[in-house]
């Protein structure tokens, strides 16, 4: 159930009376100002309103109508369960829309598959499943818009089927995305989960697999918790970011395992406003592009805590990326107790990401701190500010990159030293673990 803070209670009390307890969120140590301002606790499963049983698979199956009806009729504070039945464990569905206060639970052993029929996701122009200049032709599989207190839980799986052939075509969602890259176009493919103007959304224990595009994309969200989730998609699946908080605040991603084909987590802030008060705690990242901020930072990113993170085989490690066409102020970012291994760019802070025509949205990175960060393999370290007037301000304490890393420093004002003689390297020996299999 959801336990709201006093601020959240005041926010919702005029909407619904007596709903204190929709999803409980884990108490984490408060460290300065650089984190989620909520008191976050591990979520608790809400009571059940409806159980839907899996039925035998048939061609062109679409379970969306019965799932949507169940969710529409569920009272706030309760959950719709998807459950196995006589050996049947699969649901296949077109787009779903969430309601305030309602949680979708996918039981252990059950998989909710996104349909491969592009017409179900099409926005009306019949472009979903094709490439063009816009790339906005598909609805997301799960749309959460303008609601509060909703969630996705359970030990089951949500599978976007990104590697399966699109119905009526000879390519998969991922293949048209790769072709779009070669042809300098944009792919029309569905995101797995899209959150817009949402308050207090919770994900707990669920596994997300094979999204055609971003797994969880957020826009103007206030209050998001992902606790103990898994995201599992191949390393070469293009644009399959794990979790992207954009223009969002009060975000906690904790105790989760993420491997994907793009950014494991990417904090973004474009024209819709800042991203702030974000905690990334006790996570493991595998294949992917790392723990990223950017590239859109023109809305401002502030008060971010990344603590107890293990990255094993990502292309980049701790990464802040932007340029003068989408840059802004990134400040109050703390990286603490981080272990890295087999990473090409273990530390990557760059103001010239994807060079192009000059713009006037200048990136500015200030009050960035790294404490007890240890890369067991060398790679390349890039620490780059924009110019002499707008340098990178970075404090280093016990930051060690083993071997002989290639180091590029440009317009960087450092407090402390990389590989300082007195640095106390974090012991990472026991912290690397295999990706957990469901």
Show which residues are catalytic: 262, 289
Q: Where do we find the tokens 């995201």?
A: 231
- What is the 8-class DSSP label of residue 206? -
CA dist., res. 325 & res. 268, Å (int): 14
> Residue 124, Cα to own-chain centre: how many angstroms?
28
CA dist., res. 160 & res. 138, Å (int): 13
**Is-contact 356 322, C-beta < 8 A?**
no
For 171-215, strand residue ranges (E) read 186-187, 193-196, 199-204, 207-209
Residue 253's closest CA among 213, 214, 285, 296?
Answer: 285
Q: Which tokens belong to 167? A: 């119905």
The three-class DSSP label of residue 366 is strand
Using only C-alpha atoms, what is the Rg of the chain? 22
Where does residue 223 fall: left (phi above 0), alpha (psi -120 to 50 degrees), or beta otherwise?
A: left
């Amino acid at each position: 159930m959801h336990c709201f803070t006093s601020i959240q209670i005041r926010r919702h009390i005029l909407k619904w009376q007596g709903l204190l307890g929709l999803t409980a969120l884990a108490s984490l140590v408060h460290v300065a100002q650089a984190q989620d301002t909520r008191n976050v606790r591990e979520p608790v499963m809400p009571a059940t309103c409806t159980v839907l049983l899996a039925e035998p698979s048939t061609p062109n199956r679409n379970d969306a109508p019965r799932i949507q009806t169940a969710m529409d009729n569920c009272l706030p504070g309760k959950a719709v369960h998807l459950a196995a039945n006589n050996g049947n464990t699969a649901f296949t569905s077109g787009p779903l829309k969430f309601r305030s206060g309602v949680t979708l639970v996918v039981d252990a052993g059950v998989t909710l598959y996104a349909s491969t029929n592009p017409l179900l996701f099409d926005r009306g122009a019949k472009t979903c499943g094709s490439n063009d200049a816009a790339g906005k032709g598909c609805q997301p599989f799960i749309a959460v818009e303008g609601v509060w207190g909703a969630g996705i839980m359970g030990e089951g799986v949500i599978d976007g089927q990104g590697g399966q052939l699109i119905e009526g075509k000879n390519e998969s969602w991922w293949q048209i995305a790769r072709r779009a890259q070669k042809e300098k176009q944009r792919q029309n493919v569905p995101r797995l989960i899209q959150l817009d103007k949402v308050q207090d959304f919770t994900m707990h224990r669920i596994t997300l697999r094979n999204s055609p595009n971003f797994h969880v994309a957020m826009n103007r969200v206030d209050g998001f918790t992902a606790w103990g989730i898994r995201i599992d998609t191949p390393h070469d699946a293009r644009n399959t970011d794990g979790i992207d908080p954009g223009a969002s605040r009060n975000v906690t991603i904790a105790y989760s395992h993420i491997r994907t084909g793009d950014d494991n987590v990417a904090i973004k802030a474009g024209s819709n406003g800042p991203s702030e008060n974000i905690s990334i705690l006790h996570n493991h990242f595998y294949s992917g592009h790392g723990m990223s901020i950017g590239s859109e930072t023109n809305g401002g990113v502030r008060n971010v805590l990344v603590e107890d993170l293990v990255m094993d085989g990502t292309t980049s490690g701790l990464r802040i990326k932007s340029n003068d066409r989408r840059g802004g102020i990134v400040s109050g970012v703390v990286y603490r107790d981080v272990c890295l291994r087999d990473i090409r760019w273990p530390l990557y802070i760059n103001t010239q990401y994807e060079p192009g025509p000059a713009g006037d949205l200048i990136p500015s990175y200030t009050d960035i701190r790294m404490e007890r960060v240890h890369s067991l393999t060398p790679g390349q370290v890039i620490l780059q500010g924009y110019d002499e007037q707008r340098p990178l301000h970075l404090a280093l304490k016990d930051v060690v990159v083993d071997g002989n890393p290639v180091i590029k420093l440009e317009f960087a004002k450092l407090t402390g030293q990389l590989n300082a003689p007195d640095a106390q390297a974090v012991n990472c020996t026991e912290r690397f673990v295999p990706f957990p299999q469901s």
